Structure 1
Amino acid sequence: MAGGRGRWTATLIAVAVVLGWLVVGGIAGPYSGKLGEVATNDNASFLPTDAEATRAQELAAGFVDEPTTPALVVYERPAGITEADTQRATADAARFAQVPGVVGPLPPPIPSQDGQALQVVVPIDDSEGEEISRVVDELRAIAGDDRDGLTVDVAGPAGLLADLIEVFTAIDGPLLLVTLVVVLVILLVVYRSPVLWIFPLLAAGTSYALASVFVYLLARDDVIKLNGQAQGILTVLVFGAGTDYALLLIARYREELHRHERPWDAMRTAWKGAAPAIVASGATVIVSLLCLLLSSLNSNRALGPVAAIGIAATLLVMLTFLPALLVLGGRWAFWPRRPEADRADPHTEHGIWSRIARFVARRARPVWIVTTVALALLTVGVTQLGATTLGQSDLFTERTDSVAGQEVIARHYPAGTGSPATIFTRQETAQEVARVAQGVPGVAAVRPVGQGDRTGPPAPDTPPKVVDGRVQLEATLADPPDSDGAERTIRDLREAVHRVPGSDSVVGGFTAINVDTSDASTRDRNVIIPVVLVVIAVILALLLRALVAPVLLIATVVLSFLATLGLCALIFRYLFGFPGVDASFPLFAFVFLVALGIDYNIFLMSRVREESVRRGTRPGVLAGLAVTGGVITSAGIVLAATFSALAVLPLVVLVELGVAVAVGVLLDTIVVRSLLVPALAYDIGPKVWWPSRLSRAARTPTEAGDAR
């Protein structure tokens, strides 16, 4: 009777937990589709408050009644612009001025010196925020399609922002669908069950819904800033990490079903065995992501808490909802391969991993030496990586309207037309600053902003506008505003005007924002990467109760990270043809690869330690590798596949991040965790647990033989 009552009590608890989470999922579900409503993709708002471009933006507000972002509508006819083309552009400009959000009236079209292009500068009210995208769509509708050899494109900062917003608003549907399909296919292959895949996928979906509620509310109340990049990463991170945790728990549960009659008893034992590793893994990722709060860029600081919330929600769901589902499913959840209570030794169930473990035992030292050398050779590719801020023409994997328009501008105008650098200086030094700025290589023209100026050349003899004793100068750059050449010009321009005594000059503008973003990214790498390594080392030391093992694990993951960067550099350059990587790429790649890569070592070494207590270190290494090999490899494939889903988005930076995490996770799973770490631990023996008592435990006959 007692056994029957216990079984019914366990069932009622599991039912209550499942029903509770289904209610939470039903309430939270709609929020996953509302994240785009609270996302912002204005790069300027992510700058540090002490950046020079930020100070320039603050000064610029005093020189205009309404701050604007320009859209550049360009008309090109290689055979030469005709009178009809000019009339069309003039008529379009009049219609552009009537669009809500456009600050008019607009100046007439600006012809190029070669007579092959016209340009209409359309300032859009900044207060419209992401409604800029709507305004640009209307401009494109008015301009119409190419006709009779005349091409029309809408470019400039507003056109670029509109194209970015269009990409990010498409994240929710396609990315989520691709991620779900990838996870479903892999779960079907791993479990070969028409039933079991439902449980981890349902739990992962609930995790995503729960995380979406908190992210939505925090972003809505301006506690955090959510952008499209963080939104996309949240999706793949929750489903990837959630499926990993599910695989680990289900594998341990299946193992315990062979030892226990009742599913509840099997789950209780499995939970006790797997939960510490899962919690340590999640805590490592969460703390590593929260280190991004040390970033000087708001975009990085936003990604940290957004992704950390996703992992925290995933941990909560996977350690409560999923166990309850599995208990209710019992052995039938694994149909048609139901595990029976036959007391089978789990170490004999994984033939291929038992053979790999024996291979490692026989060739431990050559294995870790060869794998280390191979990974070290891959790091050489890092020299081919090159960190650069991707230009507008390089940002998308597809050729967008803004990219095509920028190419037209570069062919027929000073490439910086429409996105000039802005210089704010004292009135009494304005002429000297203008003269110095004009002499900087890469600056095509310098002019003061006069009273009533909006766009286009100033009227003759128009006096400059003076605000609080300052004058604004506009410096048109010879290179495209998002190019490396333009960024070098901004650095030279700042250096030159800062040297003018008493000028107190400040240089801003679109290119200056890119420069300051790149500098902040470099600073963030130098600060955050060491902090993440220290934090992970502390967590590993607490989990493994040792110092040698954590140092070895971190060293192997860092080596794997550098090898991944080297391999990805070759893939990006020679396979994909990408010109470089974004300034934020190395930091994001590090945080995700190290935090997620250490997961698999945590899963392995926590089990190795558990087995070492019973068997001795070297047999424990082999047993831990044999019993976790299949599940960890499956988990790595799932995580790699989910991050590779980012490749469906037409943004180079997300494609690069997805490929880097996929490649890095596979390296960690297949090479580092399967060969390098076990071989090192086996070769070192009990001393790997120094200074804990386990390092001084009596050696098994096997270890004694090895010592002799």
Structure 2
Amino acid sequence: MAGRRGPGAATLIAVLAVLGWLVVGGIAGPYSGKLGEVATNDNASFLPADAEATRAQDLAGGFVERESTPALVVYERGSGITDADKQRAAADTARFAQVPGVLGPLPPPIPSQDGQALQVVVPIDEAEGEEIGRVVEELRGIAGGDRDGLTVDVAGPAGLLADLIEVFGAIDGPLLLVTLVVVLVILLIVYRSPVLWLFPLLAAGMSYALASVFVYHLAKNDVIKLNGQAQGILTVLVFGAGTDYALLLIARYREELHRHERPWDAMKTAWRGAAPAIIASGATVIVSLLCLLLSSLNSNRALGPVAAVGIAATLVVMLTFLPALLVLGGRWAFWPRRPRADQADPRADGIWSRVAGFVARRARPVWLVTAAALALLTLGLIQLGITTLGQSDLFTNRTDSVAGQEVIARHYPAGTGSPATIFTNQQAAQEVARVAQGVPGVAAVRPVTGERAGPPEENAPPKVVDGKVQLEATLSDPPDSDGAERAIRDLRLAVHRVAGADAVVGGFTAINVDTSAASTRDRNVIIPVVLIVIAVILALLLRALLAPVLLIATVVLSFLATLGLCALIFRYVFDFPGVDASFPLFAFVFLVALGIDYNIFLMSRVREESVKRGTRAGVLSGLAVTGGVITSAGIVLAATFSALAVLPLVVLVELGVAVAVGVLLDTIVVRSLLVPALSYDIGPKIWWPSRLARTARTGTEAGHAG
């Protein structure tokens, strides 16, 4: 954007830039609808290599010709299963075995002890991958719907996975559409122009297309693992952050159009003023997201680069494509409220000038009261609890797999069809089985024999592979419940104490246990690293040490207040049973990285104004001139993350609500009141140890000090 150019040359450069980006968009655009093709939604594939459940999964490969994921088809009649019901289940079982991907032959239907249910275990080849969803749909088609009082559901790990795949398969369309509509409505309200909204929306769409093409090829070539959760977050993050950057640049461009006659000159000055804050903001988010590479969970490691690619693409587009569009649009882009070259000062009046005046008069009470209010909200953290979401709690609606799991829990040991697997040395197998049977929450233990179908014969010898024996422990509680997870932990403690056993416990529930433990470890490692990284970036941007420390402290306080408020919302408004194990870490990374954005936008302008006017006057001037645009940006980001609520997944609804609530707190309370009041109260010392902290005080600062 540098150098003085004539109107013709400036227009030509802008036209060439726009045409070049349109070509890029034409190539990259189709990839935004193809991300689902390279997404993986298998929990086990995301476990760390050293997890016990991962080792168990490796051992399991030697005991079967082909590894499988079980689907459980359950039939229930409250008045008791009839002969006709048994015949129907037997006929269905024969048809299930013929479905491509099902590992037959299948055992006969298993009746419940109370005579009110039948259960068919259908192992599905794990090699099917995402095609497990197709196999489950075929099973559901064969089983048919409820009939004459007999209910039929397909549950188990395969049923849950199929329901997740169906939900994530709908991300590309509905989520993108809702996000676009939300951004469009807010831009129309903010700009009150039938033209201007088009520019940031086009740029955000271009950002998403550019990000999609990179993410697609990285996932396709196994450089990263993409799952549905990361895919959904990528959509709202690119549109939310992209619109934020656009709002900041457009606001500075409008301001400079009052000072310059030619749009090119106005954009050149606006770009120089806004680009450092935008780049610092994007870099903060990118580096914070890349800290997720320190995670032991592949799913977390995947989200980091996926989202970082999205932000990087957004930065490039918003600093090249958007300025070119705005230059071509000139003043007419703002019609009907076209800015004139009249040297008007946007700080002269308006609500944010009045807010700045209020902060100046009551600085210390303002920051003390707002800090106390945020601290009070943190008390809600005691409601967050330690209960994590089970697999059947993941959905906001009652899916077929959830209904089936409820039937299984009513009539069978709830862990039937999804047992814990224990691998032990052959010589210690009997002792391990005896110890396992005595663990609370374990309903039954049996060895795996060489037979493929049907119940094992009495005293059938166990199958031995490389000196190892596999035992199956049926749990009393549903495999995704807190009770089952406690049983797995107790089971591991018990069998690990058996001398010479070298026992390893795996299975569906063990995967959940190890995932939760890895999430806790990741939270303890990554959060401090993110804080240090952000502090370094802020110190470089503001050329100070005290200001970054205070800014991070305010954002952390805002994060804890958000979690406390969300805990109350989740429990008393949405009635959610708990939070996902990854929720605190994801909420922290997004809230702190995005929340610090608004402080960067504010404080970079405050520093710019402080050099000219003095610190306290600079605080008031920076607040007045950035208040409107930053508030609009916060509302856009909150609204775009709220779009995650259209997906029937509790974890994404919780993340969307948390980011929306946290961003609004940061925008309205922290950035508008707490940070300006604290900075004003401290005065020039806020820039310690830079030279700006030692400059002669202006009359405003001297008067305040006196």
Equivalent runs, 1:454-493 vs 2, <5 Å: 454=453, 456-493=454-491
Equivalent runs, 1:214-253 vs 2, <5 Å: 214-253=214-253
Secondary structure at the residue paired with 2:78?
Answer: coil
Shift, 1:4, TM fit? 11
Aligned counterpart for 1:695 among listed residues 683, 693, 696: 693
Q: Deviations over 1:48-91 (max 9, x none)?
A: 00000000000000000010000000000010000000000000
Residue identity matched to 2:389: L
CA contact (8 A) 1:78 1:116 kept: yes
2:147 maps to 1:171: no
2:650 maps to 1:652: yes
- Alignment-derived partner of residue 584 in structure 2: 586
Q: Deviations over 1:572-605 (max 9, x none)?
A: 0000000110000000000000000000000000
Shift, 1:5, TM fit? 6.7
- Alignment-derived partner of residue 280 in structure 1: 280
CA contact (8 A) 2:425 2:468 kept: yes
Aligned counterpart for 2:527 among listed residues 522, 529, 532: 529
CA contact (8 A) 2:160 2:392 kept: no
State the alpha-carbon separation in 1 of the partners of residues 636 and 385 from structure 2. 29
State the alpha-carbon separation in 2 of the partners of residues 481 and 459 from structure 1. 26
CA contact (8 A) 2:415 2:474 kept: yes
State the alpha-carbon separation in 1 of the partners of residues 167 and 4 from structure 2. 57
Equivalent runs, 1:16-165 vs 2, <5 Å: 16-165=16-165
Q: Deviations over 1:12-68 (max 9, x none)?
A: 000000000000001000000000000000000000000000000000000000100
Equivalent runs, 1:311-350 vs 2, <5 Å: 311-349=311-349
State the alpha-carbon separation in 2 of the partners of residues 452 and 80 from structure 1. 31
Secondary structure at the residue paired with 2:6?
Answer: helix
Residue identity matched to 2:412: Y
Shift, 1:389, TM fit? 3.0
Q: Deviations over 1:492-511 (max 9, x none)?
A: 00000000001000000000
Shift, 1:326, TM fit? 0.2
Shift, 1:345, TM fit? 1.2
Residue identity matched to 1:352: I
Residue identity matched to 1:567: L
- Alignment-derived partner of residue 638 in structure 1: 636
CA contact (8 A) 1:387 1:582 kept: no
Residue identity matched to 2:685: K
Secondary structure at the residue paired with 1:348?
Answer: coil
Shift, 1:706, TM fit? 1.1
CA contact (8 A) 1:389 1:514 kept: no
State the alpha-carbon separation in 2 of the partners of residues 275 and 583 from structure 1. 37
2:7 maps to 1:13: no
Shift, 1:399, TM fit? 0.1
Residue identity matched to 1:452: E
Residue identity matched to 1:547: L
- Alignment-derived partner of residue 677 in structure 1: 675
- Alignment-derived partner of residue 437 in structure 2: 438
State the alpha-carbon separation in 2 of the partners of residues 549 and 526 from structure 1. 25
State the alpha-carbon separation in 2 of the partners of residues 139 and 388 from structure 1. 33
State the alpha-carbon separation in 2 of the partners of residues 29 and 241 from structure 1. 19
Residue identity matched to 1:396: F
CA contact (8 A) 2:284 2:537 kept: yes
State the alpha-carbon separation in 2 of the partners of residues 658 and 354 from structure 1. 32
Deviation above 2 Å: which 4+ runs of structure 1? Answer: none
Residue identity matched to 2:424: T
Residue identity matched to 2:475: L
Cα RMSD between the aligned structures?
A: 0.9
- Alignment-derived partner of residue 353 in structure 1: 352
State the alpha-carbon separation in 2 of the partners of residues 554 and 252 from structure 1. 26
State the alpha-carbon separation in 1 of the partners of residues 173 and 5 from structure 2. 46
Gaps of 5+ in 2: none
CA contact (8 A) 1:257 1:263 kept: yes
- Alignment-derived partner of residue 552 in structure 1: 550
Shift, 1:702, TM fit? 1.0
The sequence identity of aligned pairs, in percent, is 88
Shift, 1:452, TM fit? 2.1
Secondary structure at the residue paired with 1:62?
Answer: coil
- Alignment-derived partner of residue 368 in structure 2: 369
- Alignment-derived partner of residue 503 in structure 2: 505
State the alpha-carbon separation in 2 of the partners of residues 705 and 667 from structure 1. 32
- Alignment-derived partner of residue 603 in structure 2: 605
- Alignment-derived partner of residue 402 in structure 1: 401
- Alignment-derived partner of residue 621 in structure 1: 619
State the alpha-carbon separation in 1 of the partners of residues 452 and 387 from structure 2. 34
State the alpha-carbon separation in 2 of the partners of residues 201 and 25 from structure 1. 13
Q: Deviations over 1:307-349 (max 9, x none)?
A: 0000000000000000000000000000000000001112115
Residue identity matched to 2:383: Q
State the alpha-carbon separation in 2 of the partners of residues 663 and 595 from structure 1. 15
State the alpha-carbon separation in 2 of the partners of residues 580 and 210 from structure 1. 36
State the alpha-carbon separation in 2 of the partners of residues 314 and 417 from structure 1. 48
State the alpha-carbon separation in 2 of the partners of residues 508 and 496 from structure 1. 14
Secondary structure at the residue paired with 1:119?
Answer: strand
Residue identity matched to 1:287: V
Q: Deviations over 1:656-687 (max 9, x none)?
A: 00000000000000000000000000000000
| Greater mean alpha carbon deviation, residues 4-13 or residues 515-524 | 4-13
Secondary structure at the residue paired with 2:194?
Answer: coil
Q: Deviations over 1:263-286 (max 9, x none)?
A: 000000000000000000000000
Shift, 1:407, TM fit? 0.1
State the alpha-carbon separation in 1 of the partners of residues 632 and 432 from structure 2. 63
Shift, 1:634, TM fit? 0.1
Relative to the length of structure 1, the TM-score reads: 0.99
Q: Deviations over 1:419-449 (max 9, x none)?
A: 0000000000000000000000000000000
Q: Deviations over 1:154-187 (max 9, x none)?
A: 0000000000000000000000000000000000
Secondary structure at the residue paired with 1:474?
Answer: strand
Residue identity matched to 2:597: D
Shift, 1:462, TM fit? 1.5
CA contact (8 A) 2:423 2:470 kept: yes
Residue identity matched to 1:518: S
Relative to the length of structure 2, the TM-score reads: 0.99
